[in-house]
């Protein structure tokens, strides 16, 4: 009597079969329960079994990602990602420009789950050569944020953007105008725009905040300005009126007294009528346009001899540095400048050679004072043993500094 052939026990997870080629194919249940084939075939049945065991373990732990889920074109996913952010108009414009110019050419036609760490490293190296470190860092941060959302959406298991420090910008320190240079710029730009320069420097106001400043925001009796709105201008020329750059941007600024006369004159001579009238308008009375003002700013900057990279926005550096030099608390400086983070304020606290000389002089005076006090406290005999410091050096006029 012929012996019956013993059947293999039925598999509890997935299925394995041998193909006509002799290789083995593993199939496993996806999210909908349908069996899907492994991405490759195996030389032995044992290898196929190990693959299924790994898939089963991943699904049991909740670590399994359906490979088909990540088969979404990066360009489509990235555009949808920007649409869903709800960011400010200027930020959205920046994101779309970075996506169009720096991310889509490389990753646009690839599936999200096909973007690997190796591809990201190669792309970054090429971008740094083509556009420089600052733009590359901005683009990398955007790519990393998009891919992190893909992780949260269970499209991929890990974020391929894992280069340490790749999103950090090490931009050169911005130039700082002296007080005399600020007033020279105010004179050169003309009487209509003089107050903009003064408020940009000594009130640390951003250009988009000045563009939307209204008569009702200025209180001459208390010498204050309220920043409630901003009107940044996009590259298309469209003014976008809304909240300031951050929540901290809404603030009340106490003006230095020397600016108040310029404020009164400007309101009388140039601003729109009515409590809601714009403070700064063009020569025809319309809202301020960046292109028009930009031409006048560049002409004044060149006339004063300021470097071409000096922007109107850099006037804030002068005001914030002057405020920091008063010894004000960091929180007070942040409130005045409308900044929500300590890091943002620290950018403006420039350390020039003059600041360093002043610091050294203060240390010198403090050490001398403490040494002199120690000498007096120990009596005449001990004071003879205390090392005497040389007299302080003369200042630039040749006169010894009095301390």
| Cβ–Cβ under 8 Å, residues 319 and 202 | yes
C-alpha 198: how far from chain center: 26
Q: Angle, to 10 degrees, between the axis of helix 290-304 and the axis of helix 179-189?
A: 120
| CA atoms of 105 and 288, how far apart (whole Å) | 36
Instruction: Give the start-to-end residue ranges of the domains of the chain.
Output: 15-64, 74-152, 179-348, 353-397
Q: Does 345 score more than 70 pLDDT?
A: no
pLDDT bracket for residue 143 (50, 70, 90): very high
Mean pLDDT (the chain) is 82
**CATH placement of domain 15-64:** 3.30.160
**Measured distance CA(69)–CA(71) in Å, rounded:** 6
Percent pLDDT > 90 in the chain is 39
In the block, tokens 């979404």 appear at: 72
Cα 318 to the chain's mean position, in Å?
20
* pLDDT tens for each residue of 363-373: 667 777 777 88
Q: What is the pLDDT of residues 2-45, one digit of tens each?
A: 555 555 566 778 888 899 999 998 888 876 677 878 778 889 98
Q: Are 24 and 42 in contact (CB under 8 A)?
A: yes
Specify the DSSP element, H or E, that contains 268.
Answer: helix 260-269
Counting Cβ atoms within 10 Å, is residue 396 exposed (0-12), middle (13-18) or buried (19+)?
A: exposed
The whole-number average pLDDT for the span 249-271 is 91
Closest Cα to residue 66, out of 26, 48, 39? 39
Query: Angle between the 74-83 and 133-152 helix axes, to the nearest 10 degrees?
Result: 90
Q: How far apart (Å, rounded) are the C-alpha atoms in residues 182 and 201?
A: 7
pLDDT for 156 equals 86
Longest CA–CA separation in the chain, Å: 125
pLDDT tens readout for residues 59-103 = 777 666 666 666 789 999 999 999 998 888 888 999 999 999 999
Using alpha carbons, select from 66, 79, 67, 131 the residue that is nearest to residue 107.
79
Look up the pTM and report it.
0.63
Q: What is the DSSP letter of 5?
A: P
Can you give the pLDDT at residue 403? 38
CB burial class (10 A; 0-12, 13-18, 19+) of residue 239? middle
In the predicted structure, residue 384 carries a pLDDT above the cut 50: no
Q: Cα(30)–Cα(109) distance, rounded to whole angstroms?
A: 25
Under 8 Å between Cβ of 84 and 149: no
Residue 185 in this model has a pLDDT that exceeds 70:
yes
Do the beta carbons of residue 262 and residue 195 sit within 8 Å?
yes
According to CATH, the topology of domain 179-348 is hpI Integrase; Chain A (1.10.443)
Distance CA 253, CA 112 (A): 47
Q: To the nearest 10°, the Cα dihedral for 170, 249, 179, 185?
A: 90
Tokens of 60: 């049991």
Query: DSSP letter at 252?
Result: E
* pLDDT at position 180 over 70: yes
- Cα 241 from Cα 230, distance rounded (Å): 6
């Amino acid at each position: 009597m012929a012996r019956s052939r013993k059947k293999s026990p039925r598999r509890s997870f997935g299925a394995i079969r041998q193909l006509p080629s002799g290789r083995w194919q593993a199939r496993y249940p996806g999210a909908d329960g349908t069996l899907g084939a492994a991405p490759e075939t195996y030389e032995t049945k044992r290898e196929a079994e190990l693959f299924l065991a790994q898939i089963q373990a991943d699904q049991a732990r909740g670590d399994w990602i359906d490979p088909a889920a990540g088969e979404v074109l990066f360009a489509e996913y990235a555009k949808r990602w920007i649409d869903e952010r709800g960011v400010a108009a200027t930020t959205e414009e920046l994101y779309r420009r970075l996506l169009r110019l720096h991310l889509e050419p490389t990753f646009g036609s690839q599936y999200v789950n096909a973007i690997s760490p190796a591809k990201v490293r190669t792309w970054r190296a090429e971008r740094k050569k083509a556009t420089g470190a600052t733009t590359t860092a901005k683009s990398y941060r955007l790519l990393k944020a998009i891919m992190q959302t893909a992780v949260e959406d269970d499209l991929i298991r890990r974020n391929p953007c894992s280069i340490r420090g790749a999103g950090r910008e090490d931009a050169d320190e911005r130039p700082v105008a002296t007080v005399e240079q600020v007033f020279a710029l105010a004179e050169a730009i003309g009487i209509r725009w003089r107050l903009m320069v003064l408020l940009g420097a000594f009130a640390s106001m951003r250009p988009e905040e000045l563009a939307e400043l209204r008569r009702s925001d200025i209180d001459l009796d208390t010498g204050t300005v309220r920043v409630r709105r901003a009107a940044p201008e996009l590259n298309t020329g469209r003014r976008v009126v809304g909240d300031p750059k951050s929540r901290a941007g809404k603030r009340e600024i106490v003006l230095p007294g020397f600016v108040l006369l310029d404020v009164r004159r400007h309101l009388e001579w140039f601003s729109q009528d009515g409590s809601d009238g714009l403070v700064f308008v063009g020569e025809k009375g319309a809202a301020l346009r960046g292109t028009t003002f930009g031409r006048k700013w560049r002409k004044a900057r060149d006339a004063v001899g300021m470097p071409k990279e000096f922007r109107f926005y850099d006037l804030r550096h002068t005001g914030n540095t002057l405020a920091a030099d008063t010894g004000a608390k960091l929180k007070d400086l942040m409130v005045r400048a409308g900044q929500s983070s300590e890091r943002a304020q620290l950018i403006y606290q420039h350390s020039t050679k003059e600041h360093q000389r002043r610091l050294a002089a203060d240390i010198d005076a403090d050490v001398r004072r403490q040494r002199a006090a120690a000498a007096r406290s120990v009596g005449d005999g001990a004071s003879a043993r205390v090392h005497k410091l040389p007299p302080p050096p003369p200042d630039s006029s040749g006169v010894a500094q009095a301390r």
